[in-house]
Amino acid sequence: MLQFDYGRFRLKVSFYEKPPTNGILRIATGDNWTKTRKKYEVFKEQGNVFYSQKAYSDAFNCYTKAIDAWPKNASYYGNRAATLMMLSRFREALEDSQQAVRLDDFFMKGHLREGKCHLSLGNAKAASRCFKKVLELEPSNREAKQENKTAENLMELEKMANFGFEKRDFRKVVFCMDRALAVASACHRFKIFKAECLALLGRYPEAQSVASDILRLDSTNADALYVRGLCLYYEDCIDKAVQFFIQALRMAPDHEKARLACRNAKALKAKKDEGNQAFKKFNFEAAYQLYTEALAIDPNNIKTNAKLYCNRATAGAKLNKVNQTIEDCTNAIKLDDTYIKAYLRRAQSYMDTEQYEEAVRDYEKVYQTEKTSEHKHLLKTAQLELKKSKRKDYYKVLGVAKNATEDEIKKAYRKRALMHHPDRHSSATAEVQKEEEKKFKEVGEAFTVLSDPKKKIRYDNGHDLDDDGGFSGRGNSVFFSSSLVRWYSGPGNFFFQFG
């Protein structure tokens, strides 16, 4: 039995399983037509009722029965396609729509539904061809015109996304794909494209979620396996990442991105491990060089590179490359601003170079993140050193080390006192005399503190000192509390007498 629909006219033709030899076809009319129609269309009418009630699964079953009863009816396939679209089963709906238009090339609803299925699946060019076919049959069809514009917009979004990816503007790609997926909600290709860029932006949980959703539907999807591996790779889970890349290559041996990522992952892990082994063997120069080589493998791997910078900083510290150590820690923190180990390493380097304000800032960041007793102690130590650094450094004034003995302090004091005594600079300009007098007083203050064991301890511990007894002045002579040195001056001459 065949049915041909042309507008308001319907011609129904039945023939024997084997056409008669004379080629005569029997046309069903009257009562025969009614009985035949009821036999085939009862399921369709039931399906229409379920569809109107939004009971799409029941409608699908009814339309399937109708198709089984009359597989040559285009409208039955068209109706089931509409139901499958409501169930978001677009690939199956596409097959039914295509079958409908194969049976009846003038079936406009079939072409429209095929185009919409192509749109939902992200094939904008195919969708546009379908809508243009509708417009050939009915040039004034407003729905086809609107849907064709949507298809053209989708093609433009895809073009913009590809251009953005070439320019490494991954945020733009995500933006374009979000807009594209609002139309092509069932397009795995767009979802994967978005997920890959989310991974490249460091938004790993979002990227993993998209890839996992696709893998639940299709565990053999090579693109989804690649993105899943990419997330693990960028999270420094390199061994697991390699497994996903290998699985993706099994599914699609020509998957170039998976092949490149797999090669980089293996090379990066090997070079990092070599550096770690060299460091453990105290071969710091070799470790430093190996970490440098590892950093050149993949600039996009943020977390691994952050660790490599920090590892190189540790090796650099062992080699007394203090400035390079600070720079490497800073680079690590730029890549991962939550990297506590890099903050601690940089803070220690700041302490070693007496950059106490910077050290305090780093230790504060660490303590805010991890409030441990160790971090609290490190912060207080840095704060104390900062406080001490803001006072006069009496050790520098005398030119001695912080562990200088009492005799060394006395000797240094005598030398500095002679050097900066005002009478020794009596012939200098007023400005120089004033400066030397100031230095001379500082020498006295320094000696007063450092020669007194109690004051020295308080000074070394960063405590405030009393203001009594630094030095005192009398006329043309100055007597220090230690009575170690006196000087006498007269017209045109001076001499020193040490106690």
- Contacts for 43 with CB less than 8 Å, ≥ 6 apart: 62, 63, 65, 66, 69
pLDDT tens digits, 30-81: 455 455 566 678 899 999 999 999 999 999 999 999 999 889 999 999 999 9
pLDDT digits (tens, 9 = 90+) for 366-417: 999 999 999 999 999 999 888 877 777 777 877 888 888 888 888 888 888 8
14-18, 192-196, 437-441: segment of lowest average pLDDT: 14-18
pLDDT, one tens digit per residue, over 234-245 is 999 999 999 999
Amino acid at 47: G
* Amino acid present at 427: S
Query: Phi and psi dihedrals of 12, rounded to 5?
Result: -115, 125
| Per-residue pLDDT tens over the stretch 483-492 | 444 443 444 4
Q: Choose the CATH number for 35-157 among 3.30.450.20, 1.25.40.10, 1.20.58.760, 1.10.3290.10.
A: 1.25.40.10
26 - beta bridge partners? 14
Q: How is the chain split into domains, by residue range?
A: 35-157, 282-390, 394-460
90: its two tokens: 């677009």
**CA torsion sign, 149 to 150 to 151 to 153?**
positive
Residue 468 has pLDDT above 70, yes or no: no
Q: What is the rounded CA–CA span in Å between residue 393 and residue 460?
A: 10
State percent of the chain over pLDDT 90.
65
pLDDT at 442 over 80: no
CB 481 within 8 A of CB 469: yes
Q: What is the pLDDT of residue 464?
A: 65
Longest CA–CA span in the chain (Å) reads 153
Q: Residue 435: is its pLDDT beyond 90?
A: no
User: In angstroms, rounded to a whole number, what is the distance separating the alpha carbons of residues 394 and 452?
Assistant: 13
Do 240 and 261 contact (CB within 8 A), yes or no?
no
Buried b (16+ CB within 10 A) or exposed e, 15-54: eeeeeeeeeeeeebeeeeeeebeeebbebbebbeebbeee
Nearest residue to 291 via CA among 325, 257, 262: 325
- CATH architecture of the region 394-460: Orthogonal Bundle (1.10)
User: Hey, do 282-390 and 394-460 end up sharing a CATH topology, with the first three levels equal?
Assistant: no
Predicted structure pTM score: 0.65
pLDDT at 301 over 60: yes
Dig out the tokens for 59 from the structure.
């409608």
Contacts of 323 by beta carbon, 8 Å cutoff, 6+ apart: none
How far is residue 197's CA from residue 95's CA, in Å, rounded to a whole number?
32
282-390: CATH, from 1.10.3720.10, 3.30.365.10, 1.10.275.10, 1.25.40.10 = 1.25.40.10
pLDDT band at residue 428, thresholds of 50, 70 and 90? confident
- Taking residues 23-35, what's their average pLDDT? 46
Is residue 190 within 8 A of residue 176, CB to CB? The reply is no
- CA separation, residue 226 to residues 48, 114, 242, 263 (Å): 43, 31, 10, 13
pLDDT in the model for residue 193: 95
**Is residue 330 predicted with pLDDT exceeding 70?**
yes
